[in-house]
A and B are shown apart, each in its own frame.
Chain A
Amino acid sequence: MRPSRILTGLTQPAIIFYALPWVMVLLILGTITQRYAGLYVSEHLFFSSFIFWFRGVPLPGMLSILALLGVSLIAKIILKSPWRRPMIGTLITHLGALLLLLGGLLTAVTSHEGNMVLAAGQAQNFFTDYHQRELVVMKNGGVVFTCSVAQLRKGDVIHDAALPFQLSLQTICRNCDLAREERLLKLSELPPNKTDEANRAGIAFNLSDGLASRDYTALESAPPVEIKRGKDRYGIAIQKHAYDLPFAVRLDELREDQYPGTDIAREYQSLVTITDGAVHWQAPIRMNEPLRYRGYTFYQAEIDQVGPQRLSVLAVVRNTGRVFPYIAGLVMAVGMITHLMISRKIAP
Chain B
Amino acid sequence: MKKIKKILALLFCLFALQAQAADLDYATFRALPILHDGRVKPIESFARIYLTEISGAPTLPDMTAPQWLAEVLFDPAHAMQRNIIRIDQTPIVQMLGLPPRADHFYSYAEVTKAFEAQSAAVTMILQKSAEARGAVENDFINRYAAVTDFFQLLNAAAIIAPSHAAITPRVAKTFNLPPGDLTALDLLPHQTDITARLDRIRRAKGGHIQNYNADEKAVAHLAFYLTNIQMLSDGNRLFRVIPSAWDNNWYAPWELITGGHGAPQTIELLNDWRGLATAYDVKSSDAFQEAARKIQTDSAVQTHAPIWKLKLEVYYQTLALIPWAVLAYGLYFIFFIIAAVRKNKISNLTAKVSIAAGLFIHASIILSRVLILGRPPVSSLYESLLYVSFIVVLLGITFRRRHAEFLPVGALLGAIILAISPIYAPQGDTMNVLIAVLNTNFWLATHVICITTGYGTTLIAGTLAHVYLFRPSEKMALWLRRLALFALLFTALGTLLGGIWADQSWGRFWGWDPKENGALLIVLWLVWVLHGRMTAAMNPHAFAAWLAAANIMVALSWFGVNLLGVGLHSYGFTSAAAWGLAAFCGGEMILIAALYIFASARNYRPAHAL
Contacts and interface: CB of A to CB of B under 8 A. Distances in A.
Bound pair: A and B?
A: yes
Interface of A: 13-14, 16-17, 20-21, 23-24, 27-28, 30-32, 34-35, 39, 42-43, 47, 100, 103-104, 107, 113, 258-262, 264-268, 287-290, 297, 299, 301, 315-317, 319, 322, 325-326, 328-329, 332-333, 336-337, 339-340, 343-344, 347-348
A347 B608 CA distance: 11
Contacts of B489: 333, 336-337, 340
Contacts of B586: none
Given A31-B517, A104-B510, A21 B528 contact: yes
Interface string B82-120: 000000000000000000000000000000000000000
Which of B38, B440, B504, B561 is the most central at the interface, judged by chain A CB atoms within 10 Å of its CB? B38
A141 B310 CA distance: 64
Given A23-B524, A31-B564, A340 B485 contact: yes
Contacts of B437: 287-288
Contacts of A31: 512, 514, 517-518, 561, 564
B521 interface: yes
B248 A260 contact: yes
A219 B37 CA distance: 43
Given A34-B564, A299-B505, A315-B507, A343 B37 contact: no
Interface stretch (B154-162, B267-275, B490-498): B490-498
B535 interface: yes
A47 B514 CA distance: 13
A329 B435 contact: no
Contacts of A259: 37-39, 433
Contacts of A287: 436-437, 439-440, 505
Contact of B436 (A34, A266, A329): A266
Contacts of B443: 288
B436 A20 contact: no
Contacts of B240: 261
Contacts of B566: 34-35, 39
A325 B496 contact: yes
A23 to B, nearest CB: 6
Nearest to A321: B509
Contacts of A265: 435-436
Q: Sort A-B residue pairs by CB-CB distance and give the 4 closest, nearest first.
A: A259-B38, A329-B496, A13-B535, A317-B507
A305 B115 CA distance: 36
Contact of B440 (A16, A21, A288, A317): A288
Given A24-B521, A27-B517, A336 B508 contact: no
B537 A30 contact: no
A325 B537 contact: no
Interface in B488-546: 488-489, 492-493, 496-497, 499-501, 503-514, 517-518, 520-521, 524-525, 527-528, 531-532, 534-535, 537
Contact of B249 (A14, A260, A328, A339): A260
A287 B44 CA distance: 33
Contacts of B323: none
Which of A20, A259, A315 is the most central at the interface, judged by chain B CB atoms within 10 Å of its CB? A259
A20 B512 contact: no
A299 B561 CA distance: 26
Contacts of A113: 507-508
Contacts of A328: 496
22 contacts: A13-B537, A16-B527, A17-B535, A23-B524, A27-B521, A31-B517, A34-B514, A34-B567, A39-B567, A43-B512, A261-B38, A262-B433, A268-B436, A288-B439, A288-B505, A301-B506, A325-B499, A329-B499, A329-B500, A332-B492, A333-B493, A347-B482
Contacts of A47: 512
Nearest to A103: B509
B517 A30 contact: yes
Given A13-B531, A332-B496, A336-B489, A32 B509 contact: no
Given A47-B512, A259-B39, 19 more contacts: A13-B534, A17-B535, A20-B527, A24-B528, A27-B524, A31-B514, A31-B518, A39-B511, A39-B566, A42-B512, A261-B249, A262-B433, A266-B38, A287-B437, A288-B505, A297-B507, A325-B509, A333-B489, A337-B489
Which of B237, B247, B437, B512 is the most central at the interface, judged by chain A CB atoms within 10 Å of its CB? B512
B500 A39 contact: no
B433 A266 contact: yes
B504 A290 contact: yes
B478 interface: yes
A68 to B, nearest CB: 15
B438 to A, nearest CB: 9
B84 to A, nearest CB: 26
Contacts of A43: 512
Which of B492, B513, B532, B537 is the most central at the interface, judged by chain A CB atoms within 10 Å of its CB? B492
B250 interface: yes
Interface in B570-593: none
Interface in B411-453: 433, 435-437, 439-440, 443
Given A32-B564, A301-B506, A261 B500 contact: no
Nearest to B514: A31
Given A259-B39, A260-B35, A290-B507, A343 B537 contact: no
A16 B531 contact: yes
Nearest to B481: A343
B450 to A, nearest CB: 10
A248 B5 CA distance: 56
B493 A322 contact: no
Which of B506, B507, B531, B535 is the most central at the interface, judged by chain A CB atoms within 10 Å of its CB? B507
Contact of B482 (A13, A32, A343): A343
Given A20-B531, A28-B521, A325-B496, A339 B439 contact: no
Contacts of A315: 506-507
A304 to B, nearest CB: 15
Contacts of A267: 436, 439
A336 B518 contact: no
B493 A266 contact: no
A267 B38 CA distance: 13
Given A35-B566, A339-B485, A17 B537 contact: yes
Contacts of B532: 17
A27 to B, nearest CB: 5
B461 to A, nearest CB: 13
B512 A343 contact: no
A118 B338 CA distance: 69
A343 B485 contact: yes
B503 A322 contact: yes
A47 B527 CA distance: 20
A67 B96 CA distance: 64
A325 to B, nearest CB: 5
A236 B528 CA distance: 53
Which of B436, B517, B520 is the most central at the interface, judged by chain A CB atoms within 10 Å of its CB? B436
A88 to B, nearest CB: 15
A32 B556 CA distance: 12
Contacts of A337: 489
Nearest to A330: B496
Given A17-B531, A34-B564, A336-B488, A264 B521 contact: no
Contact of A325 (B503, B514, B535): B503
Nearest to A324: B509
Contact of A326 (B500, B508, B567, B608): B500
A285 B242 CA distance: 34
Nearest to B37: A262
Contacts of B518: 31
A315 B508 CA distance: 10
Contacts of B527: 16, 20
A324 to B, nearest CB: 8
B564 A317 contact: no
Given A43-B512, A315-B506, A35 B433 contact: no
Contact of B493 (A35, A260, A326, A329): A329
A32 B501 CA distance: 24
Which of A261, A290, A343 is the most central at the interface, judged by chain B CB atoms within 10 Å of its CB? A261
